[in-house]
Amino acid sequence: ITSRQMHGFMETEGGYARPEADGSLSVFVGGQHGARDRLQLSRILAMPEDAIRVVTSPTGGAFGGKDELTVQPALALLALKSGRPVRLQLSRAESMLAGVKRNPMTIRMRTGCDAEGRLLVQEVDVLSDCGAYASLSPGVLETAMEHAAGPYPVAHVETRGRLAYTNNGVCGAFRGFGANQMTYAVECQMDELARLCGLTPVEIRRRNLRRPGTPGFLGQQVAPSERLVEMLDAAESSPLWQATETDADPDEVIGVGMAMNYQGNGLGSMVSDPAGGRLRLTEEGLIEAAYGLDEMGQGLHTSIRAAVADQLGCSRDDVVPMTGDTMLAPDSGSTTASRGGYVVWRVAREAGAALGADILAAAAVVLDRPADDLKIIPGGIGERLSNSGDVLLSFADLAASMLPEALPVAEIAFEFPKNDYSAGNARYIFAYGACLARVAVNRVTGMVRVLDLSQHTAAGPIIDVAAYLGQMEGGLVQGLGF
């Protein structure tokens, strides 16, 4: 049985709405997908989408708890009925009562292996509590069932998932989106099988790990980015296994546990998952990076600056992010399911290449030099074969030399990567890792102390190291709360 969990974001659900002089409506509320919020508000209010502006960013935390509408409908109706600006902010107590929680799940699991510890069969039955309304609980249960065997191929699997309406609080999206609950059950099973087979927790996992390139749990194609063996090797060599406590309480029992992490990214094969973004040179001589994504404290703005600057060759200070505003930024899709990093990187790579070429072409005209002799450097345009850092033409001077409508701009739209699996909603990209915890349990009182935590995560190229580490540390602490 897994527990209910509250997101605990610093900023509770709230914001303000105001009617505009032209008859439109502006809604400023922390969220995770402004374009979808606008669509839902247009249906609720019977207003055209282009008459509604939604600003969702920056937000003081979300973790899935703001993946759907929260106070937006109430604010919008109050503003329209009163004809006045309206502000509403939930107290912490109100947020605890009304906010979405992680789905508690009762998981019945039978796992069979041979004498050497190789998995043969997996039977899973899940009963998930969603509260009085479904919210995103169907998708959470669907994701949980896709992770019913974790990162371990099993020849014979039978799964059953049920979602129950109850008089408990509403449940839905929460960081991990159902994979967490199933991972807990699967990894407990692996430890128990290891004990029965006389194997170490590391060895039984090593004998059953997925091989890169093999189909996913549902038989779908999976992206070739797996590094499970490396994660297991890192976990095996962790110093936590040999750590000792100098001030151990004689009533405490101390032990180390580990679990493999296996998490699907994106919305899946059967869900529309559009993305995109826009880069442009502004009249002030800055590179505006417009994304419909939301800054929620995860370091999105830092990642945007880093990715765009790395692609163009300018400095991070030359880049100004424009996020979370349906009037000013194109729809990039939801800031959920670990989509943001990929969307930021791909827009920077593809739109950045086009924008950079246009900037150099425009600078070549002003400087009366071939574009091939020039390159973008921090602050503007420099000489391609020189490493002096001297700016021949600043971005501001280049912008001033052009008509506003002629300033370079590049916008792209694409679908988040997915496979063509159609028998169910199957992920294409997965994230992998291993986590270890050193824990002390008091045999008299039952009190648990977590003495140390270690997280190994299979990252690709890292856009920004500080933002990456912040995500890992934040996830670790939130997992501790779970």
Contact call for residues 279 and 352 (beta carbons, < 8 A): yes
Cα–Cα separations (whole angstroms), residue 127 to 13, 51, 100, 105, 173: 29, 42, 18, 6, 16
Tell me the pLDDT tens digit for each residue of 366-388: 999 999 999 999 999 999 999 99
H or E stretch covering 162: strand 156-165
- Residue 344's pLDDT band (boundaries 50, 70, 90)? very high
As a whole-number percent, the residues of the chain with pLDDT over 70 amount to 100
Residue 38 is encoded by which pair of tokens? 């606008």
Predicted TM-score of the model (pTM): 0.94
pLDDT band at 226 (very low <50, low <70, confident <90, very high): confident
CA distance 89 to 141: 30
> Are the C-beta atoms of residues 226 and 214 closer than 8 Å to each other?
no
Average pLDDT rounded to a whole number, residues 102-129: 98
Identify the burial level of 173 via C-beta atoms within 10 angstroms of its C-beta, where 0-12 means exposed, 13-18 middle and 19 or more buried: buried
Is 432:210 a contact under the CB 8 Å cutoff? no
Contacts of 281 (CB under 8 A, 6+ apart): 287, 288, 355, 359, 395, 398, 399, 407, 408, 409
- 258, β-bridge pairs: 436
| Averaged pLDDT, 38-48 | 98
In which region does residue 381 sit, left (phi positive, over 0), alpha (psi from -120 to 50) or beta (all else)?
beta
Q: How far apart are CA 366 and CA 418, in angstroms?
A: 44
Long-range contacts of 115-118, Cβ-Cβ distance < 8 Å, separation of 24 or more: 115/197, 116/197, 116/207, 117/193, 117/194, 117/197, 117/199, 117/203, 117/204, 117/207, 117/208, 118/207, 118/208
Where on the phi/psi map is residue 117: left (φ > 0), alpha (ψ -120 to 50), or beta?
A: left
Task: Tell me the two tokens of residue 260.
Answer: 């493999």
342-370: average pLDDT = 97
8 Å CB contact between 127 and 22: no
| 131-160 core/surface letters (b: 16 or more CB in 10 A; e: else) | beebbbbebbbbbbbbbbbbbbbbeeeebe
Q: What average pLDDT does the segment 305-323 reach?
A: 98
**Band of residue 342 on the pLDDT scale cut at 50, 70, 90:** very high
d(CA 130, CA 140): 10
* Mean pLDDT value of segment 112-134: 97
In whole angstroms, give the CA distance from residue 92 to residue 96: 6
Tens-digit pLDDT profile for residues 158-189: 999 999 999 999 999 999 999 999 999 999 99
Q: Which of 67, 464, 461 shows the shortest CA–CA distance to 304? A: 464
Q: Tell me what the mean pLDDT of segment 416-423 comes to.
A: 96
Task: Give the pair of three-digit tokens for residue 358.
Answer: 């246009």
Question: Listing from the earlier edge strand, what are the strands of the sheet with 52-55?
Answer: 52-55, 25-29, 14-19, 86-89
pLDDT, position 225: 86
**What is the DSSP pairing of strand 101-102 with strand 25-29?**
unpaired
Whether 248 has a pLDDT exceeding 80, the answer reads no
245 has pLDDT over 80: no
Count of alpha carbons within 13 Å of 376, Cβ hemisphere only?
Answer: 28
Going through 374-479 in order, the beta strands assigned E by DSSP cover 374-377, 380-383, 393-394, 409-415, 429-442, 448-457
The confidence score (pLDDT) of residue 195 equals: 97
Q: Output the average pLDDT for the chain.
A: 96
Long-range contacts of 34-41 (CB under 8 A, 24+ apart): 34/292, 34/294, 34/324, 34/325, 34/326, 35/292, 35/326, 35/331, 36/334, 37/69, 37/72, 38/326, 40/69, 40/72, 41/69, 41/72, 41/73, 41/76
Say which DSSP state 82 is in.
Answer: H
The stretch 458-469 carries a mean pLDDT of 90
Which of the four pLDDT bands, split at 50, 70 and 90, describes residue 460?
Answer: confident
Residue 40: per-residue pLDDT: 97
**Which residues are paired to 372 by β-bridges?**
none
Average pLDDT score over residue span 102-107:
98
Q: Which residues contact 21 (CB under 8 A, 6 or more apart)?
A: none
**Hey, what amino acid is at 326?**
T
Q: pLDDT band for 325, please (50, 70, 90 cuts).
A: very high
Statement: residue 247 has pLDDT above 80 = no
The torsion angles phi and psi of 393, rounded to 5 degrees, stand at: -150, 120
Average pLDDT of the residues in 230-239? 96
> Smallest Cα–Cα separation from 418: which of 261, 227, 277, 216?
216
What pLDDT sits at residue 246?
73
